[in-house]
Amino acid sequence: MPNYDLTSEQEMLRNSIREFAEREIKPVRLEIDRNEEFSYDLTGKMFDLGLFGVTCPAEYGGHGMDYLSYILIVEELARVDACQAATVAAQNSLGIAPIQYFGSKQQKEKYLPMLCTGKKLWGFGLTEPGAGSDAGNSKTNATLKDDQWVINGSKIFITNAANDWTAGVTVQAVTGESDGRKEISCILVDAGVKGFTSRAMKNKMTWRSSNTAELYFDDVTVPGDNLLGKRGDGFKQMMQTLDRGRLSIAAMGLGGAQGAFEEALKYAKERKAFGKPISSFQANAFKLADCAVEIEAARGLVYKACWLCDQGRPFGKESAMAKLFASEVFHRVANHCVQLHGGYGLMEEYPAAKFYRDQKLLEIGEGTSEIQRLVIARHLECF
Ligand code: CAA
């Protein structure tokens, strides 16, 4: 029989993150969102709490936990604020993971301790202005000269990559051609290297207190040893990273849906119309019932995908399914949440509006819903 219980450690972890998010994040989430402020205070507290390097081995400064435990952390943060969840998810899944899984011993020793505990952040340089869904279409290039990589190009929409704590970025670059195909490799670039500049992207509709960057590489020169893994393996490294990363986006969908649902239920029980709480009208009660069912289904899918990952079994299809489903459940729940709030749902003083805006990113970031369907359809050998 499957066991649906979390371990007592996982329950304790969930409770402690919930308590932290309620105490520290909830009181400021709307204000920092309004001000588009990346919060060093909250990020520092999340470092102190051990929320970075969650699955990374202890010998590199990490906490050596299983993947489901990490996903519980992201879910609980997203229940209160997508932006703090994004800082944690991007650092663990996209900043730390490529170095953890593909880095040399020297690279791990150099970078991982500071990224796990040293209040330093690392970006995942995949997306470019002309290469989003078609992630293999990178124009950024790197040439090896005198055992040094010379990098030229640009990246866009890179989380955690333009703030005072950014220590660098993993850059996907075209490093040549072999057998008539582009050779793609990943290279580690430290912040502060000559020719590497970054700019925080402002005026976002969504994830406003998460740090999103545009990056420019103008003859950026780094040692040949900064190559991650083998030359030519870059695209596969990025894709494997996204297989895991999509689980954390799924967790954000799940946590966000849970948070929006709780706000909707609370409001619907308090708000009266025609002399009764609006939750007692069948049209509204059924909406809330549908939300509860969908969230439960999403939780099952997300946790099962994590369980497969923790078992060392293939999980790429399930991770795409979990990301697709949980982000679309969040879409429907956030929509109901605003609708149940009526006019107040349109006001930024209420969290409903923020849930509604923050949800949208999840159907686009780390692979659009269309790309998730493509990945699933390929697993089904539809074409
Ligand atoms: N694991 C390992 N290898 C993989 C793989 C995976 N998941 N997916 C593909 N590959 C390998 C293939 O096996 C193939 O290898 P061979 O050359 O040896 O045969 C190679 O990679 C090329 O694969 P495809 O032909 O399938 O590649 P494609 O060009 O058709 O693209 C795609 C596939 C699924 C559409 C991919 O481009 C993709 O995932 N696009 C979406 C990109 C994305 O998610 N971007 C998000 C960026 S991060 C972000 O958004 C962060 C944020 O801010 C929230």
126 ligand 1 Cβ < 6 A:
yes
**366 catalytic residue (yes or no):** yes
Q: Is 235 in the pocket of ligand 1 (CB under 6 A)?
A: yes
Do residues 165 and 239 lie in contact, with contact meaning Cβ atoms separated by under 8 Å? no
Spatial CA neighbour of 298 closest among 255, 361, 356: 255
Mutate to test the pocket of ligand 1, among 239, 243, 317 (most ligand atoms within 8 A of CB): 239
CA atoms within 13 A on the CB side of 229: 19
Looking at ligand 1, which atom is closest to the CA of residue 316?
7
Tokens of 241: 């990273």
CB distance 28 to ligand 1 below 6 Å: no
Digit-coded pLDDT (tens) for 87-131: 999 999 999 999 999 999 999 999 999 999 999 999 999 999 999
Determine the Cα angle at 372 with ends 65 and 95, to 5°.
40
What does the DSSP 8-state code read for residue 25? I
Ramachandran region of residue 189, left (φ > 0), alpha (ψ -120 to 50) or beta? beta
Ligand 1 center to 243 CA (angstroms): 9
Neighbours of 30 (CB within 10 A): 17
Q: Which tokens in the block code for residue 83?
A: 């932006």
DSSP 27-46: TTHHHHHHTT---HHHHHHH
Give the residue, by CA position, lying nearest to ligand 1 atom 4: 236
Does residue 155 contact residue 199 with C-beta atoms inside 8 Å? no
Report how far ligand 1's centroid is from the alpha carbon of 290 (Å): 34
Token code pair at residue 267: 């409001």
**Which residues make Cβ contacts (< 8 Å) with residue 27, sequence separation at least 6?**
none
232 CA from centroid of ligand 1 (Å): 14
Give a three-class secondary structure readout of 98-135. HHHHHCCHHHHHHHHHHHHHCCCEEEEECCECCECCCC
Phi first, then psi, for residue 35 (nearest 5°) are -85, 0
State which ligand 1 atom lies nearest to the alpha carbon of 181: 17
The alpha-carbon radius of gyration of the chain (Å, integer) is 21
Task: Please say whether the beta carbons of 9 and 72 come within 8 A.
Answer: no
278: left (phi over 0), alpha (psi -120 to 50) or beta: alpha
d(CA 281, CA 382): 44
Residue nearest to atom 10 of ligand 1 (CA): 236
Q: What CA dihedral angle connects 258, 261, 263 and 267, to 10 degrees?
A: -160
Give the pLDDT confidence score for residue 1 in this predicted structure. Answer: 64
- Indicate which residue's Cα is closest to atom 13 of ligand 1: 236
> What tokens does 153 get?
């190009």
Placement of tokens 């709480």 in the chain: 277
Tokens 């040949």 locate to 224
User: Residue 281: exposed, middle, or buried by beta-carbon count in 10 A (0-12, 13-18, 19+)?
Assistant: middle
Sign of CA pseudo-dihedral 259, 69, 315, 137: positive
Distance (Å, whole) CA 225 – CA 282: 64
The two three-digit tokens of residue 225, written as one number: 């040893």
Whether 358 is in the pocket of ligand 1, judged by its Cβ within 6 Å, is no
User: Is 248's C-beta closer than 6 angstroms to any atom of ligand 1?
Assistant: no
Residues 55/65, Cβ–Cβ less than 8 Å: yes
Pick from 172, 235, 238 the residue to mutate for probing ligand 1's pocket: most ligand atoms within 8 Å of its CB. 235
For residues 4 and 58, give the distance between their C-alpha atoms in angstroms, rounded to a whole number: 28
Which domains are seen in the chain, by residue range?
A: 8-121 (1.10.540.10), 122-232 (2.40.110.10), 236-379 (1.20.140.10)
CA 365 to ligand 1 centroid distance, Å? 14
Q: What gap in Å lies between CA 11 and CA 1, rounded to an integer?
A: 21
Q: Which tens digits make up the pLDDT trace of 198-214?
A: 999 999 999 999 999 99
> Residue 234, CB half-sphere, CA atoms under 13 Å: how many?
29
CA of 98 to the centre of ligand 1 (A): 15
pLDDT tens across the length of the chain (383 residues): 678 899 999 999 999 999 999 999 999 999 999 999 999 999 999 999 999 999 999 999 999 999 999 999 999 999 999 999 999 999 999 999 999 999 999 999 999 999 999 999 999 999 999 999 999 999 999 999 999 999 999 999 999 999 999 999 999 999 999 888 999 999 999 999 999 999 999 999 999 999 999 999 999 999 999 999 999 999 999 999 999 999 999 999 999 999 999 999 999 999 999 999 999 999 999 999 999 999 999 999 999 999 999 999 999 999 999 999 999 999 999 999 999 999 999 999 999 999 999 999 999 999 999 999 999 999 999 99
Residue with the smallest CA separation from ligand 1 atom 46 is 366
365 lines ligand 1 (CB under 6 A): yes
Atom of ligand 1 nearest to the CA of 364: 50
Cα torsion angle, 285, 287, 288, 293, sign:
positive
- Distance from residue 236's CA to the centre of ligand 1 (Å): 7
Question: Which amino acid is located at 259 in the chain?
Answer: G
Question: Are residues 220 and 169 in contact, defined by beta-carbon separation less than 8 angstroms?
Answer: no
